A = this chain, B = another copy of it.
Amino acid sequence: MKNRLRVLRAENRWSQADLAEKLGVSRQAVNAIETGKHDPSLTLAFALAETFGQSIEEIFCPKEQNN
């Protein structure tokens, strides 16, 4: 699933490790989500939404959107 994490993280000037710490997950988990290897759990998606002050729908895009 596509997401805007890299951009949101850049806007806040947070490293993957910074974000991981805020979320209480491993840096590898953040990396895997950002690079599209995993989808986050719903709980983690909520945590990301709260961290960035945006809705889950604003951060994640479930549709295959062929570009």
Contacts and interface: CB of A to CB of B under 8 A. Distances in A.
Contacts of A28: none
Contacts of A56: 42, 45, 55-57
A41 B43 contact: no
Nearest to A44: B42
The 9 closest A-B pairs by CB, nearest first: A46-B62, A39-B42, A56-B56, A42-B45, A42-B42, A40-B42, A43-B62, A55-B57, A39-B43
A47 to B, nearest CB: 8
Nearest to A63: B46
A42 B57 contact: no
A46 B60 CA distance: 10
